[in-house]
Each structure stands twice: as structure tokens, then as C-alpha cells.
Amino acid sequence: MKEKIREQALALGFDACRFTSAQPPPHSEEFQQWIAEGQHGEMHYLQRNAAKRVSPNLVLPGARSIITLATSYSLVKESADAGEQRDQARGVFARYARFSDYHDVIGERLKELAAFVDRLGTDSITRTRTKDEDDDEGEVDQVSRSLWYVDTGPFLERDLAQRAGLGFIGKHTNLISRALGNWIFLSEIITTLELPPDEPERNRCGSCTRCLAACPTSAFVAPFQLDARRCISYLTIELKGSIPVEFRRAIGNRIYGCDDCLAVCPWNRFAREGAMMKEHAMPLEQVSLIELLSLDDAGFKRRFAGTPMLRTKRRGLLRNACVALGNVGNESALPALQQRLLDSEPLIREHAQWAIDEIQHRQISVTTAESPA
């Protein structure tokens, strides 16, 4: 049964499929301590669903197995360098945002796979069940039940994926696949079927600390421990309010996420293009920061329809664009920023003013440096 499921997963476009039990994840206690210390920041859903994340049977009563899947979003044409070719007048998106929304793309295939699992399981149960004397002819008293999730379920998915042998959790707290590198989406099917678990993967980071050194905001308080409140992905996506001033300059011209810790990992030399996501690539590598500031709400929705970018809403993306311009803009950006001082969103006005102050401060510094003694 496992091999039939794996074959179907690969046929649907998934790049890897592995199996583990529905027992609590190995690092449940560490996760609970991380939450208790507040390192999850304003991601309140992590705390709200904490009990389910450490007890998969609370997600699906009677669950016996979890199918873990990997989908590559690597593109051969992309550079593996952490800094990439950053045009200073433009904003940089995390690689995963350069595709149609992966929730929709993967979710469509995952739904199909979950239905296949249930059909396969129910057929197996029907064939092997022992009928009691009181059973009605043809009655099925057991069925397989499954639930699927694409980065939305209350799971410690990287923990489960490592236990299933899909990859290992690196010092940057993300999953690394020996076959796919760092550029992978994870998804899961939790099921009442009992499927023999695969062998877990062991950590293979060795003495390498490239990911820790690459973080612009020093978000890793120790190997394998991330303080999300300092992470640029958190600051530009998950955080809904003001970005703390202490981190704004380190953000550079990143306006949605950050790949630096992923991009420097030496395991990326094994990354390969994934068939499922390749056809959904979009031209979002870099966009004009000044152009972004001109978007109203309707324009924002049109510009980023069908992409993960909608998650930040206009207020979040323009907040990020203001910070980026404060870091890399010059006097040509001032008119657009000054226009945003009239924006109806206080969040945008605040960050626009900060950006104006930063640009003007640089102009004064340059003028002073160029003036004769």
C-alpha cells in the first residue's frame, strides 16, 4: 500500500513522499518552551494550536500515520548566492513568492492524493474485514479517513518530515533534503490507515555554520534555535504592525521574506527543478519600489492576484517598500515617499517618514563628506 501511495504521489508531481507514525513529534517539549519564551512573536496561531501540534491525534482522532511530501521550487536559472543580483532600486522577494500561490497549486494535487489514500485504505479494509454474524450483507463498518494540509495544519511539520526521512532540520531550523536542497515546500496527509514508518533522517550539518553567519539580523540565538521576532521573513510577512527600528536597516531591499540562510547551504548543489511548480513560475524576482508605492488597494490586488503576496495586504507591502527605499533609495524616491505621508494607513505614513529621514540623512552625510575642509 505504501508503494502505491508513493507512486501516485510522484505521478501527481510531488518530488518525494515518506511515511511516519502519528505519534507526538520528537521535539514537542522544545517547541513548547520556545512558545513559553515568546520567540514566536505575534504568530498567535502557533500558541493557539500548540496542543494539536504536539499531539497529532487531536487533529484527527484515530490517526495512525502521517504521509509527508516535498515539492521543489528550485529553478535552474536562479543564482544560489545569498545576495543574488540585487538591483538597488528594486525590491527583492523570497524565491517561494515567485510562483503562483503554492497553497493552491499543491493543495489541488494533495486533495487528489488524499482521496486516493482513502479509496485505497477503504478497499483494503473491506477486503480484509471479518464480518460478525449480525452484519448486514455488503455493509462496510470501517473506512479510511484522511486530512491534508499545505503549510496550514497544526503540525510540527519539519519534525515529522525528519522522522519520516524526508530530510533533516538544519541549524537554520528549516528542512534540508539531501536530494532537493533547501528549496522545498512541505505538505502532509494524516490518516487513520496504519502504514509502516520509514527510517528517520539524521542531521548532516556537521561543523558548517554558513546559515547562522548569513543572517542579517542575527536571528539565530543558537544553532537550531530561531528567535522569530528578529527574522526578516517574520518582520516583512507575519508582523502586522511597525517594524522595529533596530532591524530596518538590516532588511536592505527585501520586501517579502528572506532567503539568505537557505541560499548559502552547501546542500543546494543537489537541488533540482520540481515539475509541479516550474509551470507556475511568475516574473516577480524584483519590482520597482517606487512603482509599488503608487498602488492603491485595487491595484495591489490586481498586481499580485494568485500569489502569496496577497497575505501582507497593501499596508504590509507598502510598509516594506518604504523601509527598502529608506535603505537603498535616493532623492528620486522622495516624491513618492512624500505622497505616502498622505496615505490613509498610519502604518504606511510612519514608515514613509522614516524612509524620508534616512535618505535625507545620507544626502547630508555625502554633502558634508564632499565639502572642502
Question: What's this model's pTM, rounded to 2 decimal places?
Answer: 0.89
**What's the mean per-residue pLDDT of the chain?**
90
Region 355-370: mean pLDDT is 84
Bridging pattern class, strands 90-93 and 254-256:
parallel
Residue 284 pLDDT: 66
Residue 137 pLDDT: 35
Which segments within 87-211 are labelled E, that is strand?
90-93, 146-149, 168-169, 175-176, 184-191
- pLDDT for 88 beyond 60: no
Residue 295 pLDDT: 97
User: Per-residue b/e over 95-108, b at no fewer than 16 CB within 10 Å?
Assistant: bbbbbbbbbebbbe
Which one of the listed residues 15, 104, 123, 151 is annotated catalytic? 151
Region 336-348: mean pLDDT is 98
Residues contacting 217, CB < 8 A, separation 6+: 230, 231, 232, 235, 247, 250, 251
CA–CA separation, 210 and 187 (whole Å): 27
Residue 275 pLDDT: 86
- pLDDT for 346 beyond 80: yes
Q: Which one, of 206, 232, 208, lies nearest residue 219 by Cα?
A: 232
Residue 75 pLDDT: 82
Residue 124 pLDDT: 60
- pLDDT for 83 beyond 80: no
CA–CA separation, 176 and 158 (whole Å): 9
pLDDT band (50, 70, 90) for residue 306 = very high
Per-domain residue ranges of the chain: 2-76+97-207+267-282
Residue 138 pLDDT: 34
CA–CA separation, 254 and 92 (whole Å): 5
Which segments within 219-363 are labelled E, that is strand?
220-222, 225-226, 254-256, 286-288
Residue 319 pLDDT: 98
pLDDT digits 0-9 by tens, 35-46: 999 999 999 999
Q: Which one, of 107, 109, 84, lies nearest residue 95 by Cα?
A: 84
Q: Is-catalytic flag, 151?
A: yes
Query: How far is it between the farthest Cα atoms of the chain?
Result: 104
Instruction: Determine the residue type at 104.
Output: D
Which segments within 232-353 are labelled E, that is strand?
254-256, 286-288
- pLDDT for 352 beyond 60: yes
